[in-house]
Amino acid sequence: MVVGTLQHVPSKGRISIMKIQNFTVQKRHSVIKLSYGLLLMVIGVIMAAINPLEITTNWFLGMREGSFLYNMWENPTYELFSEMWVYNYTNTEEYLSGAEKILRVKEIGPFTYQEIRTNDNLQIDKDRGVMTMEPHMRLRFLPHLSVSDTKNVTVNIPNVALLAISTFVADKLGYFANAGAYYSMSALGSKLFKQMTVEDLFWGYHDPIVTIANSLLPGWIDFKEIGLLDRFYAERNDTSEVELRNASRRYSLNSWDDHVGLVEQGYTDWNTSNLCNRIKGSYEGLMMPANYEKGLNITVFRKQACRNYPFNFVGERTNDLGLNSYLYQMDPTAFSTKSPYACDCTYKNCPPEGFVDVSSCYYGFPIALSKPHFMDTDPVQQANFEGMTPDPEAHKSHFELEPVVGAPLSFAIRIQINLAVRMSEGNPISKPLKDKVLPLMWLSMYCKQPPSDVVTLLRLRLVIAPPLIITVEVLLFLIGFFLGAQGLHRVWKPKYKIVQPKDIPIPAIRRKSAERRRSSVILNMAENDAFKDDEELAKEAVSLLAINEEDNEFVDLLLSSDNE
């Protein structure tokens, strides 16, 4: 029954079915190739247009709770070190007796500490586009990187407590108050110079003057011992606010302790402020805006240094990590009294050239900052000492920035702590050191390179990913173009042609085709236990006509159709 049905299918019907089959098999593949080719080309063009690397970087470095950048701000992984050098006065007896006119000093160090910074209570205000935190910093001594243990090194150093309090009284009080202070200090037996360990100098030594001041004026002197690092790194309940929304100054400070300016340096309002006491817009150096503009200078705020310090762009280079970076150096006039960043004097006796007065940040004590070894300071002050060896290369401050991501690569800030001694006529206790700026110590705060996770991120973002992304974009476009062109050509000009076979006789082709169809029908009948309905027979007929373009049966059917 099946055979009979197949034998009576008209030849033209068979040809139409085979033409549809040919379009379905051959043309469909061509259209698919064309579609895939166009899709790949579009993806390549879109990738080149939108820069997926920039989008991925912005997402990864987005400031949100739990993100990489959030965790880095909360517990900075940068290893920041501070190397301290102390000045040991070697001829104080000869100088005080008048036998010698110049004080001789010799630096001892380094004594190395690691600065450990944390930002507690880190919160992001999405509505205002800011981040608030409570910064804390502590020091950890590193004996293996130091010249010796601080407890084992003794130095002869100016008596900071005596000279600081006597100068404070000379600046703030009148003649009779100074006279009373002079007799009190003389009765306590305090000396202008003291022998002490470096540990005591750094973290506090006992002096009866400090004890009395703490008892009489606890609101002013809230400590019973005085030490340089102990006061510089004293625990404070500071708060800071950092900008997030404004891309041009992202990660810059908006305020410190709810003030946009430094109150200790005379800030009252923005209109009357100056570059010295403006906090808003400066950076702490933890992070800079991405795609930082080349040639734009940086202002760094350091709470311990009690003011802003300008860093000027000096050039572009490739560092040891293979990363392109911008190099900045502290402005040569940063400590100058003529600098735009110089603060107004808070008393009649302004500091000499090359010194920055930070007394208002440290209880009114006459603390003055300068470059190490009196570099670029008043020659008169330099002439008061022997042993100062300023080195522009060793004592300069720099900052290195990767501009695309805005990550600091290295930095070094070198500052010297001095005591500016002044005297009142009523209190001549400090007369031998009158109007001299006494060097106490200098320190170098530095970070040689970013932490390993930041280095990996930077190398992936700046070295590995860009050529990889370009390669992917080019390959997608080329592969897509090739597939699209091939598919379009096949659709426009099909490869299939009806040809007359030359090598095989026509009767043989007909006989071979008939035998194949007969065999297929017999096999189909053998697989079925009963007769099939008309719909199944029609489907089977179509399946028997599913012929590839290379199959000679197709030629046989076409020829048969022509003969009929």
Cβ-contact 267, 257 below 8 angstroms: no
pLDDT tens sequence across 13-47: 444 555 555 555 566 677 777 777 788 788 878 87
Counts for the chain of helices (H) and strands (E), in that order: 17, 16
| pLDDT at position 20 | 52
Task: Calculate the average pLDDT of the chain.
Answer: 81
pLDDT confidence of residue 19: 54
pLDDT of the residue at 559: 40
User: Does residue 390 have a pLDDT over 90?
Assistant: yes
Q: Which of 189, 187, 190, 183 is nearest to 164 (CA)?
A: 190
Instruction: Judge whether 75 and 118 are in contact, CB under 8 Å.
Output: yes
Q: What is the pLDDT of residue 436?
A: 94
Q: Does position 179 have pLDDT exceeding 60, yes or no?
A: yes
Task: Please count the residues of the chain.
Answer: 564
Determine the average pLDDT of the residues in 147-155. Answer: 96
What tens digit of pLDDT does each residue of 517-531 get? 555 544 444 444 444
Cα(288)–Cα(250) distance, integer angstroms: 7
| More confident: 336 or 346 | 336
Closest to 364 in 3D by CA, of 215, 125, 169, 530 = 169
Average pLDDT, integer, range 101-128: 94
* Beta carbons within 8 Å of 111's beta carbon, 6+ residues apart: 83, 84, 85, 86, 141, 146, 147, 148, 150, 153, 198, 202
pLDDT tens-digit map of 454-493: 888 888 888 887 888 888 878 888 887 887 777 777 767 6
Residue 270 has which token pair? 């923005």
Q: What is the pLDDT of residue 501?
A: 47
Residue 549 pLDDT exceeds 70 = no
Of 205, 197, 163, the C-alpha closest to 181 is 163
Distance CA 59, CA 541 (A): 59
For residue 44, what pLDDT is reported?
Answer: 78
pTM: 0.77
